[in-house]
Amino acid sequence: MPNGHTKAVGVDGQVVNISRTGESSRTMPSLAANGAGRAAAVSGTYSTSLSKGTGIMTVGYLVGCQVNLTGFTGSLGASIDLTGASLSGGLTVPLAPGQVVFAKTDKINLKKGKGTVMVDSFSLDVQQCGGYASARSVVQVVAADGYDAQEKSLSGKSGYVQANLYGAPFSLG
């Protein structure tokens, strides 16, 4: 899938850059093996840089299906090394007909103005889906000079910037 980048500039000049590289998806058999599940393994690297201040970067997927689904289960694992963070695990997503949900995979604090999340073979599994199912990545960043990520509050030192980067839609099988 294509790489992507977006840049948002706040009223006080604060700049938020978000990039997506190496994103891929591959359809795979659903874990339920019942014929009504749709699944894919996704990978990619998502990075953010702030010109000043702190913030939060959230990485996830918008997932949709044509028919009603029930239940929600999830599993998630993560590791951090000198080159960045690595994320693995899976989500099973409940949906109603025509509904789209945001399935969050990771959320990190941007304390020093930069952050990277690497997703490797993360499983998206939609059960009881008799129709077409698709997904797309979403990276959301909220930032400000004086933003307290723990309290989700602003100190008044700057404006508040929110930026989103959307990936290309892909099939879940």
C-alpha to C-alpha distance for 50 and 72, rounded to whole angstroms: 34
Torsional sign, CA 53, 163, 38, 2: negative
> Which residues neighbour 106 within 8 Å (Cβ) at sequence distance 6 or greater?
58, 59, 60, 76, 78, 85, 87, 117, 119
pTM, whole model, 2 decimals? 0.79
**Residue owning tokens 């993560």:** 78
**Residue owning tokens 């994320």:** 87
Give the number of residues written for the chain: 173
- Banded pLDDT at 88 (limits 50, 70, 90): low
What domain range includes position 39?
4-171
CATH code, 66: 2.60.40.1650
pLDDT at position 58, please?
A: 95
- Mean pLDDT over residues 107-124, rounded? 91
C-alpha to C-alpha distance for 116 and 110, rounded to whole angstroms: 9
The vertex-142 CA angle with 25 and 3, nearest 5°, equals: 30
Q: How many domains does the chain have?
A: 1
**Residue owning tokens 């995979």:** 105
- Decide the pairing of beta strands 84-92 and 114-126: parallel
Question: 3-state class of 3 per DSSP?
Answer: coil
What percent of the chain lies above the pLDDT cut of 70?
Answer: 75
> Between 5 and 72, whose confidence is greater?
5
